[in-house]
Amino acid sequence: MAEFTDDIFFATISELNTRLKAREFSAYELVRAFAQRLEQFGPRYNALALPLTEAAIRRARDVDKELKRERYRGALQGIPFGAKDLLSYAGQPTTWGARPYAGQVFDHTATVLQRLDKTGSVLIGKLAMVELAGGGGYRSAAASMFGPGLNPWDRTRWSGGSSSGSGSAVGAGLTPFALGSETNGSILTPAAFCGVTGLRPTYGLVSRHGAMPLSWTMDKIGPICRSAEDCGLVLEVIAGADQKDPGSARKSFYYTPQFYRKPKDLRIGYAPVDFNEWAQPNARPAFEEALAAIRETGAQLIETRLPDLPYGALASTIILSEGASVFEPLITSSKIDELADPKQIAGLRAALDIPARDYLKAMRIRTIVQQKVRSMFGEVDILLSPSRFGPASKVSEPTDRGRTPEPTPKDLGMSGLVSAGNLAGLPALSLPCGFADGMPVAIQLVGPAFSENVLLTMGKEFQTRTDWHRKRPQVG
């Protein structure tokens, strides 16, 4: 039996798959080791919503029977994982991170979890999240019934929202990969803060059936992993048409980077102001090093900027309006007062009063955003910017704290890329690119719709030239 050290707990999916096939350990041993580690250390980071150890071990024994007969189902067979607690799992609590839903149990399992199960991947636990995925807006990292998501690199700092537990669990080596969700930054942020790789898929590529809705026109499910390659392997399994999701793009995804353009043939648009003014001073050296690594790939860097549009305000209006419709029964009941964050309670109540004309106006301007951003890809193939402009904030600090102490740059550059990308439904890949005062920072690559293979090819090339995704925090 193998000794389960950090070399295993921080291994990539491909590495674990190779060792499983080589019979260095069984799926049962691997799943048990990760499940026990998640139970032991998950609460340390407020990352664990619900352990599923017993069911996981039973499933792992079934996988071992398949492996013994050499029935191989792909790279994820026998690999344990965690899932954000907005994904339903039949017969088990799905809390959405919020006390009013603490006893909520569904009789169906989310499509993405069903698809992973069919490949032999093993769910070992539901992972904590910001309550209602941040619906209504929140001011405190503690806006969750599980407490504030704590960063594995420094537990006084935030792991990022709203997929806080997913970021912490992968960052601390408690799961090889996890599923998160993004409406306006909730995969990119925890991936960046926790030093791991996160992929936001194109809107509609991954089914949301069985996931808590926040914004019907912006919600997306995606993987948080150790590497870009891992993200591709997971996306291949969870993507695909689903008639149970009205927003399904009815497209499949196959991870085939070998058939896509090499980095030297790519044009990458970036705004220097993002890296030398918008970025926090302590993070600028890491971002400059990341730019140098991108140049070394042979890709052509082209200066560009986003059109001057109110991306943040548009995203906020749409999410609040659609979220108010989803959560109206909660908002109009006394149970809303059970939420942990007073600002979120007030935000949800106020969202019911947003006029239809404001929502419709935001949706019309959103069409302009989609057209303007789409036109940028006539000049470049990928947009590049920091995922976040600095490292994780302190847990004690308000999450909506503005820039301090430096003044806001006059040139907007691509500072609104997270909201712009989400409004346009575009894919994005967050890649660790260094440290600022001992905390991870990251860059994001954004491409046109359904360009995931291009982003992953570039991401993989970046990660062959750097080792930031291989760095490990001290856990224990």
Residues taking part in catalysis: 84, 162, 186
Tell me the CA end-to-end span of the chain in Å, nearest whole number.
23
For the CA atoms of 361, 366, 369, 374, what is the dihedral angle to 10 degrees? -140
C-alpha 328, offset from chain centre: 27
Contact 274, 387 (CB under 8 A): no
**Helix (H), strand (E) at residue 14:** helix 13-21
Q: How many alpha carbons fall within 13 Å on the CB side of residue 232?
A: 19
Query: How far apart (Å, rounded) are the C-alpha atoms in residues 279 and 198?
Result: 20
Q: With CA atoms as reference, report the closest residue to 125 among 88, 95, 91, 84.
A: 84
Instruction: Report which DSSP code applies to 10.
Output: T
Query: How far apart (Å, rounded) are the C-alpha atoms in residues 269 and 305?
Result: 8
What does each C-alpha distance from 472 to 49, 153, 412, 440 come to in angstroms?
23, 8, 34, 10
**Pair of tokens at residue 470:** 């291989």
Contact 157, 45 (CB under 8 A): no
Instruction: Report which DSSP code applies to 5.
Output: -
Contact 191, 442 (CB under 8 A): yes
Contact 145, 163 (CB under 8 A): no
- In this structure, how many other beta carbons lie within 10 angstroms of the beta carbon of residue 289? 14
- In this structure, how many other beta carbons lie within 10 angstroms of the beta carbon of residue 108? 14
**Pair of tokens at residue 213:** 């809705």
**Pair of tokens at residue 38:** 């998640």
* Amino acid letter, residue 330: L
**Helix (H), strand (E) at residue 228:** helix 228-238
**Helix (H), strand (E) at residue 292:** helix 284-296
Q: How open is the CA angle 351-393-234, to the nearest 5 degrees? A: 80
**Pair of tokens at residue 456:** 């992953």
